[in-house]
Amino acid sequence: MTIPRTDQSHQIQENHVTTGATVWLTGLPSAGKTTIAYELAGRLRAEGHLVEVLDGDEIREFISAGLGFSREDRHTNVQRIGFLAELLARNGVKTLVPVIAPYADSREAVRKRHQESGTAYIEVHVATPVEVCSERDVKGLYAKQAAGELSGLTGVDDPYEEPETPDLRIESQHQTVQESAAALHALLTERGLA
């Protein structure tokens, strides 16, 4: 049976709205991960996508309550979030994950989980330099570290392993929030996801 042309184009238009994907925004504290995630979430929702933001702080309050910032705890945190993200994305949700995920092997395990189920996975490095992040210091963590009230801060006295081949690198220090979110939206469009 020949499907009428109008129905086919309708189908194509619907697919990118109903196809799930995980978009992981990795980067230092105050890099802009959360801000870009919520800006993108608003745009995608307006276009009819199902969207969830798995905010690092919220996750640490609930499903990762009790975990700290050791290498092992960060790995466990990232794997739990990766599990949830894959579950949501596999079921049609655009799942945005603004979580530091400082270790390459943790991120790789999450990518592999998505690959195994054929679920789209996009890694975005919000590559704001530490000097800019510490100037922004949204939560006052850099000041606390400098004052000796906190140690093990990612990018300062704790490791951050930069992604070598992210799907997108955002230099937020040279862009407005809208421009950064638009760059990510453009990538999703290119991949047939938005």
Ligand X SMILES: Nc1ncnc2c1ncn2[C@@H]1O[C@H](COP(=O)(O)OS(=O)(=O)O)[C@@H](OP(=O)(O)O)[C@H]1O
Residue 70 CB burial class (10 angstroms; 0-12, 13-18, ≥19) = exposed
With CB under 6 A as the contact rule, the residue among 136, 144, 169, 191 that binds ligand ADP is: 136
Which CB sits closer to ligand ADP, 45 or 139?
139
Query: Per the annotation, does 34 bind a ligand?
Result: yes
Match 């990795």 to its residue by tokens.
26
Element (H, E) at 95: strand 94-98
Q: Is residue 31 near ligand ADP by the rule CB under 6 A?
A: yes
Query: Per the annotation, does 159 bind a ligand?
Result: no
Residue 100 CB burial class (10 angstroms; 0-12, 13-18, ≥19) = buried
Which CB sits closer to ligand ADP, 20 or 56?
56
Distance CA 25, CA 37 (A): 8
Query: Per the annotation, does 67 bind a ligand?
Result: no
Binding mask 14-43 for ligand X (x = CB under 6 A): ---------------xx--xx---------
Which CB sits closer to ligand X, 47 or 157?
157
Distance CA 153, CA 170 (A): 21
Q: Which residues bind ligand X (CB under 6 A)?
A: 29-30, 33-34, 56-57, 60, 69, 74, 77-78, 99-102, 139, 141, 152-154, 158
Residues at the annotated binding site? 27-34
